[in-house]
Amino acid sequence: MLILTCPNCGETKDESELHAHGEAHITRAGPEATDEEMETYLFERVNPKGVHFERWHCSYGCGKWFHAARCTNTLEVFGTYSAQTTEPPKEIIDILDKKRPGWSWRKFGGTAQ
């Protein structure tokens, strides 16, 4: 069972008290966007086997949103952080560089494309 700590209320909860909402740091496409940009925003996902940044909702807790960095293959949680950011904070990047050298994920991280 996944156990995550909500950075808003500080409570450590198991996944049945939280709700996962998929990939984080997606750039919202506006009315002027091309079809490709709209498709990328709405549907296309990294879906990695490895490091993943994702949105969570503290649904049976404080009711606020947060982000988590997690491995989809081992379920190791690297850390959770505020949802009020467009990219993972330095502490999380440092942990990943140490634990998963060469990791990549969209535009962040070592060998990022």
Partner 1 sequence: MKRYSAFAIAREAFRYHTGWERAWRSPEPKKKYDAIIVGAGGHGLATAYYLGKNHGIKNVAILEKGWLGGGNTGRNTTIIRSNYLQDPSAAIYEKARSLYEDLSQDLNYNVMFSPRGVIMLAQTEHEVRGYKRTAHANALQGVATEYIDARRVKELCPIMHIEGPRYPVLGGLWQPRGGTARHDAVAWGYARACSDMGMDIIQKCEVTGVRRENGKVVGVDTTKGAIDCDRLGIVVAGHSGVVADMAGFRLPIESVPLQALVSEPIKPCMDVVVMANTVHGYMSQSDKGEMVIGGGTDGHNAYTQRGSFHHIEETVRALIETFPMISRLKMLRQWGGIVDVTGDRSPILSKTPVEGVFINCGWGTGGFKAIPGSGWGFAELMATGHSPLTAEFGLDRFREGRFIDESVAAGVAH
Q: Does residue 58 touch Zn ion according to CB under 5 A?
A: yes
Q: Does residue 22 touch partner 1 according to CB under 8 A?
A: yes
CA-to-CA dists, residue 49 to 46, 55, 104, 106, 113, angstroms = 9, 17, 11, 13, 16
Residue 55 phi, psi dihedral angles, 5° rounding: -95, 140
Q: Does residue 18 touch Zn ion according to CB under 5 A?
A: no
What's the alpha-carbon Rg for the chain, to the nearest Å?
15
Contacts with partner 1 in 30-59 (CB under 8 A)?
A: 35-36, 38-39, 42-49, 52, 54
Are the CB atoms for 11 and 17 separated by under 8 Å?
no
Near partner 1 by CB under 8 A: residue from 9, 20, 62, 95: 20
Min CB(44)–partner 1 separation in Å = 5
Site string for partner 1, 56-85 (x = CB under 8 A): --------------x-xxxx----------
